[in-house]
Structure 1
Amino acid sequence: MSSSSPVSAVSSATAPHVVDDCLGIVQLLSDGTVTRSADYSAIPLLGEVPSNLPVQWKDVVYDPAHALRLRMYRPTDTDGGKTTNNKLPVLVYFHGGGFCICSFEMPHFHAGGLRLAAELPALVLSADYRLGPEHRLPAAHRDAEAVLSWLRAQAEADPWLVESADMGRVFVCGDSAGGNIAHHIAVQYGTGHLALGPVVRLGGYIMLWPYFAAEERTASETAGLDVDHQFVSTALLDQMWRLALPVGATRDHPAANPFGPDSVPLEDVAFQPLLVVDPDQDVLHDRTQDYAARLTAMGKLVELVVFRGQGHGFFVFDPCGEASDQLIHVIRRFVLLHKHPCNLVDLSTTM
């Protein structure tokens, strides 16, 4: 199944032709039309989605105007992780995909949602958002804010949230583009532009190989230009930025570069604790290290966990593998450590 939609009026004397093709999933044509496929078989998936985890799930619409949904996961057989009020922490999860592909419905992310709900344990909200090039940034960032606003509005209305959610322990998590989104939410919340209280209190942010960029290359990005055996290469990430950023924007745009010339200065932004996960074979390895180091130098509480021998998106491509088992353990420890938003402890870990 595929769909097409115009994104701009581009005059052409010839028949429309493909000017950008991302994995055969998204094609941008010369007349501004976008063709989008629902076939994600090009994205690797190792193993099978677990079918025996004690988790129930349901889909809900969080933004009717844009027909945007999220999937809620609730563990059905656990007492661990609950507070004295018998509630579970909430993990709001944003999927990766370079801001132009993927969905929570994919088996890759569905498996991750099942595991996180069952094994943290937590009430997990895995959300979709608008994708480029039909909806270029900051559309995805605005949608992420809408997810948190929906959570605040539904805290005393949705039965699962009423029964199971501890709104004093809400964590924002995401992989790749979702990690970028987690940073954006941290800035919006930390500057007071995203009002969630007193209903919702964010306890921390979990950034899995966050998708950042800049015009100036890091060493690992430069090396990644010459690598053709990795699924996630520098060239692929560059292409996704080209499709996701506003037309004409560079990789120093605030949506891509958190330290760019037009980005919000982060020194005075009040961050909750951050868990940053860095696979050392990722082309973004150096950039992730730099992000964590800069925030630490600013006095932010950052736990940097390096996964040796792993590449970008290992939890997505192999959600039930050994490294993903270790990742679940790391996330669980972080969530348990920060039971209260004011619980600040300095951490440093290498896997």
Structure 2
Amino acid sequence: MKGDTAPHVVEDVPGVLQLLSDGSVVRGDEAVLWPKEPLPDVHGVQWKDVLYHAAHALSVRVYRPESSSVTGSSKLPVLVFFHGGGYCMGSYTQPHSHTYCLRVASELPAIVLSVQYRLAPEHRLPAAIEDGVDFLSWLRGQAEHGAGGAADPWLAESVDFGRTFISGSSAGANLAHHVTVHAASTQTQLAVHPVRIAGYVLISAFFGGADRTAAEADPPADVTLTVEGSDMLWRLSLPVGASRDHPVANPFGPESPSLAPVDLPPVLVVAPESDVLRDHVLGYAARLREMGKAVELAQFPGERHGFSGLQPFGAAANELIRILRRFVYGGFARTTAL
């Protein structure tokens, strides 16, 4: 028909994702983004996938160490993990993410729950955050029904729901922040509750802002995530027309509610040095400390954005797991009920 034009590419992650002018999305093979070296095996961990949201066909991958003798207890803490990918890419099944979760489950040790969530631009934010909140509701149901036999048997047998930690890498860290804030803002006032958030962990958090930081204006060399790439991922994932000061991107932006009155559990903030988002991450830790929140900051000189997934057996990943083990098993008096 006269006047018709074929859809054209609006946003492009070469070989991986294209957004067309008619709103349609073309996806390729994300394997081109990941290192090609084979990953070593991690022994002594069982894993399986469990459906947690039937309507959206979303699953969680459950990792359970075959032995909990290290802790001297049959019950292990829970580490919820949200994968990265700028809210547009990535998967709980991706081999590097899978390997990282195997290591954490084995070496902490802990029950690791790696959560699938809907991706943009097909499902723009806050869809992923809604999925994270729904997952915690599902987890609460597992804790409440465990004694009656209705819960997944691995969780009923092995989990200490009173020691639940929320974590994530990159966009997954952003998601972990928002899910934890939601839980802390809507917590029940019950004296005893089966699921309690003992802390949260943000690794290479994917935060943004309309104003450029020093690291964005003068990026470190050889970054894995460029300023242009970060901007594009926000354009693809945020509501259409939203700026990087949207509350999802910028937790301290002009439209973001104050975190001062929120009784947040302790947080471990992991900040790689060679990351264009470094100043956002360091600023996040500093602002929370100014509010009197319990913050542990772990900086990694020379490491790049997403290092724990890109090199899950690297020296920095080894150190991260040591820090994570101390954070999880260090014991905290303050917890947040779900």
Q: In which range does the TM-score fall when normalised by the shorter chain? A: over 0.9
Counterpart of 2:254 in structure 1: which amino acid? P
Structure 1 pair 311/334, CA: closer, same or farther in 2 (3 Å)? same
Structure 1 pair 35/150, CA: closer, same or farther in 2 (3 Å)? same
Q: What's the secondary structure of 1:161's corresponding residue?
A: helix
Counterpart residue number, 2:274: 281
Q: Distance in 2 between matches of 1:183 and 1:31?
A: 33
**Is 1:55 aligned with 2:45?**
yes
Counterpart residue number, 2:158: 164
1:270-317 CA-to-partner distances (Å, cap 9, x unmatched) read 010000000011111111111100100000000000011101011111
Given candidates 69, 92, 96, the residue that maps to 1:79 is: 69
Does the 8 A contact of 1:81 with 1:89 survive in 2? no
**Is 1:24 aligned with 2:12?**
no
Counterpart of 2:171 in structure 1: which amino acid? A
Tell me the TM-score normalized by structure 1: 0.89
Matches within 5 A, 1:82-121: 83=73, 86-121=74-109
Q: Distance in 2 between matches of 1:147 and 1:45?
A: 30
Q: Distance in 1 between matches of 2:217 and 2:32?
A: 25
Q: Distance in 2 between matches of 1:231 and 1:198?
A: 41
Structure 1 pair 50/341, CA: closer, same or farther in 2 (3 Å)? farther
Structure 1 position 322, deviation (Å): 1.1
1:142-201 CA-to-partner distances (Å, cap 9, x unmatched) read 000111111111221110111100000000000011111111022111211689971200
Does the 8 A contact of 1:74 with 1:124 survive in 2? yes
Q: Distance in 2 between matches of 1:326 and 1:195?
A: 37
Unaligned runs of 5+ in 2: none
Q: Distance in 2 between matches of 1:195 and 1:162?
A: 24
Q: Distance in 2 between matches of 1:82 and 1:67?
A: 37
Given candidates 115, 121, 127, the residue that maps to 1:133 is: 121
Counterpart of 1:21 in structure 2: which amino acid? D
Q: Distance in 2 between matches of 1:79 and 1:171?
A: 21
Structure 1 position 338, deviation (Å): 2.5
Structure 1 pair 115/46, CA: closer, same or farther in 2 (3 Å)? farther
Structure 1 position 209, deviation (Å): 1.2
Does the 8 A contact of 1:188 with 1:194 survive in 2? no
Structure 1 position 341, deviation (Å): 4.1
**Is 1:206 aligned with 2:201?**
yes
**Is 1:230 aligned with 2:220?**
no
Counterpart residue number, 1:150: 138
Does the 8 A contact of 1:82 with 1:88 survive in 2? no
Structure 1 position 213, deviation (Å): 0.5
**Is 1:302 aligned with 2:292?**
no
Bigger Cα displacement from structure 2, 332-341 vs 141-150:
332-341
Q: What's the secondary structure of 1:93's corresponding residue?
A: strand
Q: What's the secondary structure of 2:81's corresponding residue?
A: strand
Q: Distance in 1 between matches of 2:213 and 2:36?
A: 30
* Alignment length (residue pairs): 327
Given candidates 291, 307, 315, the residue that maps to 1:314 is: 307
Structure 1 position 36, deviation (Å): 1.7
Structure 1 pair 312/82, CA: closer, same or farther in 2 (3 Å)? farther
Unaligned runs of 5+ in 1: 1-11, 344-351
Q: Distance in 2 between matches of 1:209 and 1:96?
A: 9
**Is 1:44 aligned with 2:39?**
no
Q: Distance in 2 between matches of 1:195 and 1:138?
A: 26
Does the 8 A contact of 1:23 with 1:42 survive in 2? no
Q: What's the secondary structure of 1:126's corresponding residue?
A: strand
Counterpart residue number, 1:192: 186
Structure 1 position 22, deviation (Å): 1.7
Counterpart residue number, 2:245: 252
Structure 1 position 108, deviation (Å): 1.0
Structure 1 pair 23/88, CA: closer, same or farther in 2 (3 Å)? farther
Q: What's the secondary structure of 1:66's corresponding residue?
A: coil
CA RMSD across the alignment: 1.9
Counterpart residue number, 2:264: 271
Structure 1 position 237, deviation (Å): 0.8
